[in-house]
Amino acid sequence: MKTLDGKVAIVTGAGSVEYGHGTGDAMAINFARHGARVVLFDIDEERANRTLKTINQERGIASIVIGDVSKAADCDLGTSVAVEQFGSIDILVNNVAIIPRGNVVDVTEEEWDQVFAVNLKSMMLMSKSCIKYMVSNGGGSIINISSTEGQRGQDWLPFVAYSTSKGAAVTLTTSMAVQHGKDNIRVNCIAPGMIYTPLIAPHISDEVRTLRRMGAPLDIEGNAWDVANAAVFLASDNARWITGTTLPVDGGLLATQSLSLIDRFTDLAEK
């Protein structure tokens, strides 16, 4: 028996780009590999179809919903499709995010509002839409994807709107965990560190990529599959007594600070 046999999962931002794997598609594929039936929720149909193709090739089960998770009607569509096609919702992963660059002086009001709509409001809307089904089903697991950037400050590559939204995701997680524990709904958070994904690739050089790896105690470059493996655990019954927790998947980054590496990051960012 597989870890997630019989479970139904919704993953937002589950589409695949043409090269590499992001956290969304890696989690969706990994859920299917572990026996879940997966609803791939993405705003881009072409990307969603790439993930679907991979799951189908591996003889997994999945379907697609195309929509904007910052819109309540689209969120309700996604949950209704999951219930109509698969009968229930057991797992929700709030993964979708955008990352405009800039500090508080540089970021525009429109960029700030868009980041909070996509990165944070979507978590609230999707959770609101899913929880009623989880309650009727006797419980469930919600996983919010945050970031180590939501738990520390840095200057070498400023994403102030993104970082702030990801910090808020941690607080949302603890609040939801306390408020919905009585419904047997577990709510946890994953905070990826400086993993290498297609989302971050355009922003960094090869030298910065190496320094990012060296900035954590484990001299290993993290990738989307590290996050996907953590998500399978938190979604499964193996984590039945874990809720309200933020799990860093960061190679130990939050456990240490290397000032020399931070100085190097800053120097490179200014070039």
Active site annotation includes 162: yes
Give burial (CB, 10 Å; 0-12/13-18/19+) of 196.
middle
Instruction: Give 259-262's long-range contacts (Cβ < 8 A, gap of 24+).
Output: 261/211, 261/214, 261/215, 262/154, 262/156
Helical packing angle, 23-33 and 224-235, nearest 10°:
50
Q: Are 69 and 75 in contact (CB under 8 A)?
A: yes
Query: Could you tell me the two tokens for 36?
Result: 């879940």
Write down the residue that tokens 């309540």 correspond to.
72
φ, ψ of residue 204 to 5 degrees: the values are -130, 150
Looking at 19, 133, 162, 196, which residue is catalytic?
162
Provide the residue count of the chain: 271
CA distance 15 to 224: 13
CA distance 30 to 34: 6
φ, ψ of residue 213 to 5 degrees: the values are -65, -40
Q: Give catalytic residue positions.
A: 162
